[in-house]
Amino acid sequence: MKISQIGGEFALIDRVTHKIRDRDVIVGIGDDTAVLKYKANKYLLFTTDMLVENDHFNLKWSTPEQIGKKSIEVNVSDIAAMGGIPKYAVVSICLRKDIPVEFVDKLYNGIYKTAEKYKLEIIGGDTTHGDLVVINIAMLGEVNKKNLSLRSDAKVNDLICVTGNLGQSTAGLNLLLNNIKDKRFQPILKKHMEPEAQLRKSRIISNYCNAMIDVSDGLASEVEHICEMSKTGAAIYKEKIPVSDLTKEAARLVKKDAYDFALYGGEDFELVFTISRKNLSLLKKKNEKIYTVGKILQKRKGVYLLDKDKKIRLKKGYDHFK
């Protein structure tokens, strides 16, 4: 039986997940990071992310430095989604035997530069060889208990907000796949090759929000995750989704829908969070650019996209096995 036949990536995760018995585990599988007992006023955060050649990056258009940067940013994004800060990481790499030493030097230059940006220490790792280049990061962080933001914390009547434009990374990828390298599109090409975690914003938002998650698999998928863990429904308002004119133009060039990029594309690494109206008013006083894209509903109402007056059932976001 193929993995796609059992429901894809998340069905596979459910299949191999066992019950956690250790009482020091506050949150295990099912959120952006695991959450562990740590200090009187803090939790320890633990996450890992793997980047695979020809899936998460392509050597035809990404430099080794960009790949190294991205490997750190995507893990920091998970820590940010919990309201925390990164502290330590180990780096494991799989290299093809034909990869030159200079490639590795540049890869680690990107890793260390990005780690320095976040005051993150690289404290170990592993190396091996294989048919593809693979970079795997395991990262530890910490979060003040009052700032911990879980997918399961959404409340009915919360507003659903995002921190920035969506669909840019997928638009950039589609341009690259179609060999379109017009300089006008440099901002969205960079969004794909050099994504950035929204750590600074998360440090502010986590003081006000309920649930939070980062956009790795598309807005639709992330809202579904929040609703599943919080046992709620949700409405996403299509006209409120922030999609830039450049993303729309790129989508037209490749004959695709920019809103599909935002809903189902992923790798934007913006933050999606739910928040009460009162706290959103307080957050906006911090002069942060926030976009309200929907509302948390009772579970029985389901999760859907509202396009004018038409309710549209959401498709699933990106899945590695479909």
| DSSP of 202-257 | HHHHTTT-S-EEE-SS-HHHHHHHHHHHHT-EEEEEGGGS---HHHHHHHHHTT--
Q: The domain 151-313 belongs to what CATH superfamily?
A: PurM-like C-terminal domain (3.90.650.10)
Tell me whether the CATH fold assigned to 3-147 matches the one assigned to 151-313.
Answer: no
Residue 315 has pLDDT above 80, yes or no: no
Residue 3 has pLDDT above 60, yes or no: no
Q: What is the pLDDT of residues 149-195, one digit of tens each?
A: 999 999 999 999 999 999 999 999 999 999 998 899 999 999 999 99
pLDDT of residue 127: 95
**Tokens at 26, concatenated:** 């506050």
Identify which of 212, 207, 209, 233 has the alpha carbon closest to the alpha carbon of residue 222.
212
Instruction: Locate the domains of the chain by residue range.
Output: 3-147, 151-313
What average pLDDT does the chain have? 92
Identify which of 241, 237, 227 has the alpha carbon closest to the alpha carbon of residue 296.
227
Residue 102 has pLDDT above 70, yes or no: yes
Q: What confidence category does residue 14 fall into, taking pLDDT thresholds of 50, 70 and 90?
A: low
Instruction: Kindly state the percentage of the chain with pLDDT values over 90.
Output: 84
pLDDT of residue 21: 63
Q: What is the pLDDT of residues 252-303, one digit of tens each?
A: 999 999 999 999 998 999 999 999 999 999 999 998 899 999 999 999 999 9
pLDDT of residue 10: 52
Identify which of 107, 38, 124, 33 has the alpha carbon closest to the alpha carbon of residue 77.
33
Q: What confidence category does residue 321 fall into, taking pLDDT thresholds of 50, 70 and 90?
A: very low
Question: What integer is the mean pLDDT of 220-225?
Answer: 96
Residue 96 has pLDDT above 70, yes or no: yes
Q: What pTM does this model have?
A: 0.91
Question: What integer is the mean pLDDT of 26-38?
Answer: 88
Name which CATH class applies to 3-147: alpha beta
**Tokens at 117, concatenated:** 């940006």
Residue 20 has pLDDT above 90, yes or no: no
Identify which of 163, 256, 272 has the alpha carbon closest to the alpha carbon of residue 217.
272
Question: What integer is the mean pLDDT of 109-116?
Answer: 98
Residue 146: exposed, middle, or buried by beta-carbon count in 10 A (0-12, 13-18, 19+)? exposed
pLDDT of residue 94: 97
Q: What is the largest CA-CA distance in the chain?
A: 58
Q: What confidence category does residue 55 fall into, taking pLDDT thresholds of 50, 70 and 90?
A: confident
Q: Which of 117-126, 152-161, 253-262, 304-313 has the lowest mean pLDDT?
A: 304-313
Question: What integer is the mean pLDDT of 35-61?
Answer: 94
Question: What integer is the mean pLDDT of 211-226?
Answer: 96
Residue 16 has pLDDT above 60, yes or no: no
Higher pLDDT, 228 or 320: 228
Question: Where do we find the tokens 């260390």?
Answer: 112
